[in-house]
Amino acid sequence: MHMAIEISPEETDKYINKTAEYVHKYGLNMVAILMIEAAKPLSYIGGQLGRVFLSPFLPAFGEGIELGGEKFLIIFEQRENVDKLLKRIEELNNEEEEREKERKAQEKTRREKAGEKAPKKKGWRRFLSF
């Protein structure tokens, strides 16, 4: 059943951020970007199909799930929200890469100050000179 639901821009951003954080939490950034980019032209059709095939089962899980699922379908039917989701996933990925680079640089300076050697390379990388 299609409900007439009003969704505020703040609530839209909340759903987008929560979805992006779940994707990032499980380390599926690149896979999600690839799949979302491939399915982006069909986002409206996917939302309509979700209403047809998923909406009848959502009331069985409770009113909160039913309302949340309906909002999710409405939000991600719109292509600009799909683009916002992709952008947010990429931002989270870039932030994580920057933190990792900073951590590696700090580890390297710590090793240099302590006079330690770099850790031995493992596997096939030990045969490379760089």
Average model confidence (pLDDT) across the chain: 89
Rounded Cα distance between 72 and 81, Å, is: 11
pLDDT band at 49 (very low <50, low <70, confident <90, very high): very high
Q: What is the pLDDT of residue 18?
A: 96
Task: Quick: pLDDT tens for 18-47.
Answer: 999 999 999 999 999 999 999 999 999 998
Rounded Cα distance between 48 and 78, Å, is: 11
Q: Token match 């690839």: residue? A: 34
Cβ neighbours of 114 (radius 10 Å): 7
Q: What is the pLDDT of residue 3?
A: 58
The answer to whether 70 and 3 have CB atoms below 8 angstroms apart is yes
More confident residue, 28 or 4: 28
pLDDT band at 130 (very low <50, low <70, confident <90, very high): low
pTM to 2 decimal places: 0.78
